[in-house]
Structure 1
């Protein structure tokens, strides 16, 4: 029997393993969706394997990740909803602009080409990678202190440390270099078709205490979609940081995404899924 549930593809960002989506998958499944959370290309399925074999993702770039998830989507029985966090939010926007998603939720998304604000906290969060040009072709790990600043600044130290132990893995440095030099590249892989009038609806979410992707960066991305007639919405969460998809407050974020999807006419079981 064909699964009639609406697929949801969950796309993580740098330094988090795909298993970080497990609580979301449980919720989405309970709501009648068919969730899946594929890792990035080369990412080992197990957390410990991913930590032990950082070379598996070294050299992976944004185009590689986009193509990887595009292949996943094309193999699905119906057009999926895309939910991405950080660089996963950027990838979700790229895929939606290419017509490869029914709708997308981009949470604290890495900046698309054309976003001009560059707050100090964003620079500091990326510095562990960008400080060494050789990291462009390497996989790089965060220390607990670096994770605390980049992800866990809006939650208690104890919780930040627990999340670091539960979900972090080495990640490729290339995407950060590609994003940092997007302005100087005519064909930057962080470019998104923000003017597409025929794409599905898009929700951008931001944590207003986010260090890695500050709220001003997400708001600047939102403005870039101003020329499109397709639905684009913005939701800001006060007192939330970059950990908002994995910390104790994640349910409020997930519920917001589900409520927005329902307002777009998208539910777990839908006769129009894939239409």
Structure 2
């Protein structure tokens, strides 16, 4: 039974639920700090899940053996419970999962927030490895990838801006959990997103001070889906940074412009 945080209700104005998919080390809580309440308050049903092995979601096999295919099944299961076609909003590795999901499933819209690009994690990994080669070797040996968040300084470097309040950084670091090496590193190196199969309208958002995903990678993601990226002056964890409301408001305005209510009436 996957952990799901479910807030708000579908309304006539917003009949399509939103499903938020977290990235590595995180769980449903990362959306619950701000985004779920924000979207519930403006009339959406806002749902976040914890992928297996994260938060309170169990995993039937060791976490390091959990794959992207397992995460895809988690998203499919929760999406089905929401009626089969929610709007998908994915952060970081969760954005890669959303892209892979959309190869085979329809959705009225999707938002990528600081997402791993469709080509996978190789360029991200090389950049991190060059920065800290010894720690990278140690991280591979412990198979949790938690060494990258071992201190508040590291968590800030990768996930937040230099001026983000210490309490925000430490709160995130204390709640961070182990990540699957296979799902986060191996699978996204060996299997790219087949972008030609993805027809869902996409909003691509990036952070100017992202310690993981470069601006060039965000631009490449946007090009793959024939759209233009938008950037915010913050770090990787755009849903937790002090400027999170600007990101949420941009997502809301973009969804409003998509007229999801009209699309739902036509499909019904």
What range describes the TM-score normalised by the shorter chain of this pair?
Answer: 0.7 to 0.9
Q: Which residue of 1 aligns with 2:64?
A: 58
1:139 to 116, 140, 144: 144
Gaps of 5+ in 1: 227-231
User: Does the CA-based 8 Å contact 2:87-2:110 persist in structure 1?
Assistant: yes
The 8 Å contact of residues 213 and 242 in structure 1, kept in 2 or not, is answered as: yes
1:252-271 → structure 2 map (5 Å cutoff): 252-266=246-260, 271=264
Q: Which residue of 1 aligns with 2:6?
A: none
Check the 8 A contact 1:70/1:100 in 2, yes or no. no
Length, aligned pairs only: 251
Change (3 A) 1:211 1:166: same
CA RMSD in angstroms, aligned pairs only: 3.2
Aligned residue runs from structure 1 range 10-49, under 5 A: 10-22=20-32, 23-45=34-56
Task: State how far apart, in whole Å, the 1-side matches of 2:266 and 2:91 are.
Answer: 23
Q: Which moved more, 1:258-267 or 1:6-15?
A: 258-267
Query: 3-state SS of the aligned residue for 1:37?
Result: strand
SS in 2 for 1:139: coil
**Aligned partners of 2:37, 2:131: CA distance in 1, in Å?**
30
Q: Could you tell me which residue of structure 1 aligns to residue 230 of structure 2?
A: 235
Aligned mates of 1:74, 1:68 — CA distance in 2: 10
Partner of 1:229: none
Instruction: State the match for 2:214 in structure 1.
Output: 214
Distance 1:152 1:125, change over 3 A: farther
Task: Tell me how far 1:208 sits from its aligned partner.
Answer: 1.5
The answer to which structure has the higher helix fraction is: 2
Give 1:39 shift: 0.3
2:175 counterpart (167, 170, 188):
167
Equivalent-residue separation in structure 1 for 2:64 and 2:16 (angstroms): 33
Query: Structure 1 residues 113, 130: CA separation in 2 closer, same or farther (over 3 Å shift)?
Result: farther
TM-score (norm 2): 0.80
Query: How far did residue 59 of structure 1 move?
Result: 2.2
User: Which deviates more from structure 2 when the two are superposed, residues 67-76 or residues 116-125?
Assistant: 116-125
CA contact (8 A) 1:96 1:103 kept: no
Go from structure 1 to structure 2 and tell me whether the alpha carbon gap of 1:161 and 1:78 turns closer, same or farther (over 3 Å shift).
closer
Deviations 1:220-270 (A, max 9, x none): 2222334xxxxx342112x31102211211111011111111111126x97
User: Are the structure 2 counterparts of residues 3 and 205 from structure 1 closer, same or farther at C-alpha, using a change threshold of 3 Å?
Assistant: closer
The 1-side partners of 2:121 and 2:105 are apart by 22
Using the TM superposition, name which of 93-102 and 25-34 deviates more. Answer: 93-102
Structure 2 gap segments, 5+ residues each = 1-8
1:177 maps to 185
What TM-score does the superposition give when structure 1 sets the normalisation length? 0.78
Taking a change above 3 Å as real, the CA distance of residues 106 and 153 of structure 1, as seen in their structure-2 partners, is: same
Gap change, CA 1:104 and 1:17, over 3 Å in 2: same
Contact 1:102 1:274 in 2 (8 A): no
CA positional deviation for 1:12? 0.4
The 1:266–1:126 alpha-carbon spacing in structure 2 relative to 1, beyond 3 Å, is: farther
C-alpha deviations, 1:184-221, integer Å up to 9, x for none?
Answer: x3xx1xx2231236x22011111021111111111122
